[in-house]
Amino acid sequence: MPDIFQPDTSFADGKILKTITDGVGVIIFNNPDKRNAMSLEMWEGFGQALTSLRDDDAVRVVILRGAGGKAFVAGADISQFETQRHNAAASEDYAKRSAAQRALLAYYPKPTIACIQGFCLGGGMQVAMLADIRIAAASSQFGIPAAKLGIAYGYDGLRHLVSLVGPSWARLLMYTGMRIDAAEALRIGLVERVTPDDQLWGETMLIAETISQNAPLAIKAAKITIAEVLKDESQRDMEAIKAIGTACMDSEDFREGRQAFMEKRKPQFRGR
């Protein structure tokens, strides 16, 4: 997959890159010598990039991808384990420092797409599972090798894994630490679409551009409502669903959508 964009901003000493084109923000994990393994500094830079795109009104959808063509993210940077994750207390501190960035992605207000080529392992799986949509190249490989490293993967990561593939496949993946290919990942529901490697970026951008041209409030309504559906019934915020529904129906975009349909033209949505 070619690196067709020039980044406009970098974080974490250039290991996290950010660019924007036509309403689509792109964050690139740029540590190809280590197959984009995530250091703590990269987690923090990732959070900065997410915040920047979140606060940019011109950005309507965000793509996550890895540099180098060999990996999306191949897990955590193991070289940091001796100093930062060598025991329970150190691991807890590491988790707290990276938790804010994971929460940013988990509750991101804009649609997110993981564009996956090559290895997507461990912490990379967690990033991909937190995205709204996962599109993978046929050569991709997936796995969580926590059992081979003596690591407890954590509640949030496993909650998302179970929600995507179910408890039985979650157990098989976690107990064995096995890797699966893109075809298997598609079959079990871990990813939504698989493409030939040379078509991955084009397919991802096509979906992102389609989303960016649709009504932002309607997409926000879908995102909020789906998130509430996934919660236990007692925890659902039905008022939030009602509020975003009312905002959609009273919006300029709803009027524009109706008018464009009647005039048989493409609508121009403004997100208000």
Residue 99: per-residue pLDDT: 85
Residue 250 is given by DSSP the state T
Q: Please give the Cα distance from 73 to 126 (Å, whole number).
A: 10
Helices (H) and strands (E) in the chain, counts: 12, 11
Question: Of the ranges 41-45, 112-116, 148-152, 242-246, which one carries the lowest mean pLDDT score?
Answer: 148-152
Residue 151: per-residue pLDDT: 83
b or e along 156-184 (b: 16 or more beta carbons within 10 Å of the residue's beta carbon)?
bbbebbeebbeeebbeebbeeeebbebee
Tokens of 80: 């940091």
Give mean pLDDT, residues 63-83.
81
Q: Please give the Cα distance from 171 to 174 (Å, whole number).
A: 5
Q: Is the pLDDT of residue 80 over 70?
A: no
Q: Is the pLDDT of residue 113 over 50?
A: yes
SS3 content of the chain, % helix, strand, coil (to 5): 50, 20, 30
Q: Is the pLDDT of residue 86 over 70?
A: no
Residue 77: per-residue pLDDT: 65
Residue 108: per-residue pLDDT: 95
Q: Is the pLDDT of residue 29 over 70?
A: yes
Give mean pLDDT, residues 94-114.
88
Question: Of the ranges 68-77, 84-93, 233-242, which one carries the lowest mean pLDDT score?
Answer: 84-93
Residues 201-226: tens digit of each pLDDT: 999 999 999 999 999 899 999 999 99
Q: What proportion of the chain, given as a percentage, has pLDDT over 90?
A: 63
The arrangement of strands across the sheet holding 16-21 comes to 9-11, 16-21, 24-29, 61-66, 112-116, 133-137, 193-195
Give mean pLDDT, residues 55-59.
94
Tokens of 39: 């250091």
0.75 surpassed by pTM: yes
**Nearest to 47, CA basis, from 109, 121, 98:** 98
Q: Please give the Cα distance from 59 to 139 (Å, whole number).
A: 30
Q: What is the mean pLDDT of the chain?
A: 89
Residue 2: per-residue pLDDT: 45
Residues 173-193: tens digit of each pLDDT: 999 999 999 999 999 999 999
Q: Is the pLDDT of residue 250 over 90?
A: no
H or E element in which residue 135 lies: strand 133-137
Residue 133: per-residue pLDDT: 98
